[in-house]
Structure 1
Amino acid sequence: MKPKRKKGGIESGGGVAAALMMFPAVFLLAVTSIYPFLWMFRYICSDYNGFVSYFTGPQNFIRMLNDHLFWQSVVHTFEYAFLKILFVMPLALVLAVLLGQKILGSGFFRAVYFMPTIISSAVYSLIFGFIYAVFNGSLNAILSTIGLIDAPVDWLGDPDIVMFSIVMVAVWGGLGNYMILLMSGMSSISADIYESSKLDGANGVQTFFRITLPMLSPILKVVLMLAITTAFKDYQSIMVLTNGGPNNRSQVMFSYIYQVVFGTTSVVPQIGYGTMISVVSALIIGIVTAIYLFVSRKLDDVV
């Protein structure tokens, strides 16, 4: 008769195996995320240029409170995020509904709209820089040819329209990603529900607002939260197209942090002060996200 194997030994052996399999991921998380985050807090109260650190107490915090450019960048970040979400979410939803249909060419257009998400933002921003060029840009040439403008428009140099120009680049770059996420949520809706609505005489608009949109609301809330956090952290396109100009009109939080940390706003890098405003920026994004989650839960309770 075979001896019985102890259950506790099997469980402990399984626990060790699970821990060994999780160790590489946990180690990478600690090295690449947790340690740099904790390391950052060492210099909040210091004047650190990458070589020498001097303790300055609350001076970085006081400087942050009186830093007009930083708070201006916060306002611009909210403006940029609002405009981007205002355009990208409705467009992504409409495209998801249209291209989710089994029609000829839908697969091709899905690939076309998704293509920008696999291209570096620096690359397509550089391309848009040529498109937006004042005298040799294709956009001004097209608008002039069809008679919509009489003189070339400085899309990236005019403070009144520079934010709109940058937002259009961001919408073009992120539209396909949100479209695919919404299409994946729509694929979970049973086709029988749509067949029943057709038998009841519902048209396309009624089907969208009374079936698709309510049943898509869980994934829609997740995608909207992703869009909010991404919009508040965007800065790559701005660095390539305007570097925060003209006259800091397109400066957002993380582009300003980049300039402070890497010394583009002064002679030497200001890592200590950059750390302080980075923490404040992260807190702002966290507060906005928490407010969104609170409001979305309240709306769920009302509905």
Structure 2
Amino acid sequence: MRMKWRVHVENYGFLLPSFLLTAVLGIYPIFWAMRYMFYDYKGYGDMIYIGFDNFTRLWGDELFWEAVRNTIVYAGGKIAITIPLSLIIAVILDRGLKGRNFLRALYFMPTVISTAVIAVVFFIIFNSYNGLLNQFLLKNRLISGAIDWLGPDYAMLTVIILAVWGAIGNYMLLFLAGLQSIPGDLYESAEIDGASAIQKFWKITVPMLGPVMQMIIMLAITVSLKGYESIMVLTEGGPVGKTEVMYLYVYKLLFPVSTGSAMIQEIGYGSAVGFATAIIVGVITGFYFMLSRRLNKIY
């Protein structure tokens, strides 16, 4: 009994610092924000209790629902491109390719670079007037006029490209870990049976990566739905709200910027919007959990 008690004390002792950080920096701020959902409070002056008026306002807030639509488009585009591309790159780099360690480091490098720095670099590349991409296309006569990459028609595509470039390395590394856990005997047996490379990929690689892929998809969904930092630096949600996503909208309400859509600090309404945003992310995540259970039966 004493040995068991010591083991429990040691285990909980190791968990205690992490629990305290989670409680102070994660759990407490949630309850702190929830307190303001039912008040009209702008960061100064008195807090006025207004009941569910913030949620009534939220229901008719066109900017918020546009941000929801933009978030779904942004997350869907990022996931649809990033995961297949990361898997293909991981499969190629898992083979005996010359210089594969250098290529792995090269693809992983964007994940360790600051999001703000990446956004600034992409602004230099995709600038509509003197951006490097337009200069290259014009110089090689691939286009007749400069393309407004950060304009209403292409801004969402640009931020998705930025997100894909920044996420490929992380997911590629996870896929590589999964690929290296697949027994080589399976591929050797498939070769003896005359299976082609494509057949081995679909019949062995993809099914064996099922558990890893479920984790990667879960990670991609949550990160994509909550992502806003690169968009804030690159487009600030513009132009005319074309790249406004949910968490960027919440940020602007709680910490207004000079050129953003929310010019006045509204902590009460911002807390209500943040709560609704968390509910939406939770519903989408829960739907994926249901789908994931069916995938478990397949794999």
Interval of TM-score (by shorter of Structure 1 and Structure 2) = over 0.9
Alpha-carbon distance, 1:302 to partner = 5.8
Q: For residues 207-236 of structure 1, what are the alpha-carbon distances to aligned partners after superposition, in whole Å with 9 as ceiling and x for unaligned?
A: 101110111111111101111111111111
**Does residue 1:293 correspond to 2:286, yes or no?**
no
Query: Counterpart of 2:242?
Result: 249
Query: Counterpart of 1:184?
Result: 177
Instruction: Name segments (4+ residues, structure 1) moved above 6 Å.
Output: none
Which among 262, 277, 283 is matched to residue 281 of structure 1? 277
1:129 is paired with a residue whose SS is helix
1:232 is paired with a residue whose SS is helix
2:209 is paired with a residue whose SS is helix
Alpha-carbon distance, 1:32 to partner = 1.1
Query: Counterpart of 1:123?
Result: 117
Which among 75, 78, 87 is matched to residue 84 of structure 1? 78
- The 1:17–1:107 alpha-carbon spacing in structure 2 relative to 1, beyond 3 Å, is closer
Q: For residues 94-123 of structure 1, what are the alpha-carbon distances to aligned partners after superposition, in whole Å with 9 as ceiling and x for unaligned?
A: 001001112101111111110000001111
**What value does the CA root-mean-square deviation take over the aligned residues?**
1.5
CA distance in 1, matches of 2:52, 2:199: 58
Q: For residues 163-204 of structure 1, what are the alpha-carbon distances to aligned partners after superposition, in whole Å with 9 as ceiling and x for unaligned?
A: 111100100000110111111111110111111212222121
2:95 is paired with a residue whose SS is coil
Alpha-carbon distance, 1:266 to partner = 4.6
CA distance in 2, matches of 1:167, 1:13: 51
Quick one: percent identity of the two aligned structures?
Answer: 42
Q: Normalized against structure 1, the TM-score is what?
A: 0.93
CA distance in 1, matches of 2:33, 2:184: 51
Count of aligned positions? 295
Query: Counterpart of 1:19?
Result: 12
**Does residue 1:54 correspond to 2:48, yes or no?**
yes
Alpha-carbon distance, 1:143 to partner = 1.2
Alpha-carbon distance, 1:22 to partner = 2.8
Which among 64, 76, 81 is matched to residue 58 of structure 2? 64
1:148 is paired with a residue whose SS is coil
Alpha-carbon distance, 1:241 to partner = 1.0
- Structure 2's unaligned 5+ residue stretches are none
Q: For residues 127-177 of structure 1, what are the alpha-carbon distances to aligned partners after superposition, in whole Å with 9 as ceiling and x for unaligned?
A: 1001011232110111112222110111002x1211111100100000110
- The 1:112–1:13 alpha-carbon spacing in structure 2 relative to 1, beyond 3 Å, is closer
Query: Counterpart of 2:221?
Result: 228
Which among 174, 187, 191 is matched to residue 194 of structure 1? 187
Who wins on radius of gyration, i.e. which is larger? 1
Alpha-carbon distance, 1:23 to partner = 2.2
CA distance in 1, matches of 2:77, 2:149: 16
- Structure 1's unaligned 5+ residue stretches are 1-7
Aligned residue type for 1:268: I
